[in-house]
């Protein structure tokens, strides 16, 4: 084991989208400048937030500005791939800020591994989740349970650095998705762990489940991890 492969898992608790994004950007800038090789994964829960990716458009926000303002929604254009998505209470958001050298610098494999981590975590409670042939993310039947989106940049050495990540619906208020056309897909639904199980679930328990699946999928079972609450 080398220090550059150690992952620091940081629980940000409930944090505004802008602050969590700045944490990611600061860490990714350090990696891109090759100031260090520290691998970091943030876990966080956001207040109601609509983000528009580089391939997105405000046309896919169907709620009025007045409604969004009255209900405390934030709207942000962001530099990840994809279209429009929603973050909010009861949704587990995971932001890996990693350089991909330990994983063969393979971006496509990295995204597949993110999806696989969620699929395996859901399997622990007998939710059968899969990839969709036409769309990214993780699906239960024709309903999306987890969005996946990443921003990838290259270091001078040629190694890729990634940030943004996954958003898994746990106890999420699914009515909030009616404010948008999720990911620009008009003929699909969204779901949550709570909906699939028929009862609310424990947020911290799911942090543990997703983390364990991530470590397993990325083949880092023996990796030193330093965890702290911020």
Q: Is 183 a catalytic residue?
A: yes
Would the annotation count 190 as a binding residue?
no
Would the annotation count 162 as a binding residue?
no
Would the annotation count 143 as a binding residue?
no
Would the annotation count 106 as a binding residue?
no
- What span, in angstroms and rounded, lies between the C-alpha atoms of 95 and 149? 10
Would the annotation count 86 as a binding residue?
yes
Nearest partner of 163 among 23, 55, 58, judged by Cα: 23
Helix-, strand-, coil-residue percentages of the chain, each rounded to 5:
35, 30, 35
Would the annotation count 81 as a binding residue?
yes
> Which member of 118, 183, 210, 213 is catalytic?
183
Would the annotation count 118 as a binding residue?
no
Strands 74-77 and 39-45 come out as: unpaired
Report H helices in 17-76.
17-32, 65-70
10, two tokens: 């940081």
Would the annotation count 83 as a binding residue?
yes
Cα distance from N-terminal residue to C-terminal residue, the chain:
26
Within 10 Å of residue 26's Cβ, how many Cβ atoms? 10
Residues tagged in the binding site annotation: 80-87, 147-149, 165-167
Catalytic residues: 183
- Sequence ranges of the binding site for substrate: 80-87, 147-149, 165-167
């Amino acid at each position: 084991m080398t220090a550059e492969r150690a992952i620091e898992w940081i629980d940000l608790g409930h944090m505004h989208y802008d602050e969590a994004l700045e944490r990611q950007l600061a860490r990714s800038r350090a990696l891109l400048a090759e100031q260090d090789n520290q691998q970091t994964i943030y876990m966080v829960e956001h207040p109601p937030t609509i983000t528009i990716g580089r391939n997105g458009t405000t046309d896919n926000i169907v709620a009025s500005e007045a409604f969004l303002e009255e209900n405390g929604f934030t709207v942000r254009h962001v530099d990840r791939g994809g279209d429009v998505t929603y973050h909010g209470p009861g949704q587990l958001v995971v932001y890996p800020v990693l350089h991909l050298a330990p994983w063969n610098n393979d971006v496509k494999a990295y995204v597949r591994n993110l999806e696989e981590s969620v699929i395996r975590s859901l399997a622990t409670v007998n939710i059968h989740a899969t990839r969709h042939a036409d769309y990214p993310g993780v699906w239960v039947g024709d309903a999306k349970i987890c969005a996946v989106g990443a921003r990838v940049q290259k270091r001078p050495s040629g190694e890729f650095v990634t940030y943004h990540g996954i958003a898994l619906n746990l106890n999420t208020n699914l009515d909030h998705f009616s404010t948008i056309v999720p990911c620009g897909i008009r003929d699909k639904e969204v779901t949550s762990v709570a909906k699939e199980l028929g009862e609310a679930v424990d947020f911290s328990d799911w942090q543990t489940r997703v983390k364990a699946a991530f470590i397993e999928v990325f083949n880092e079972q023996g990796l030193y991890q330093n965890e702290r609450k911020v």
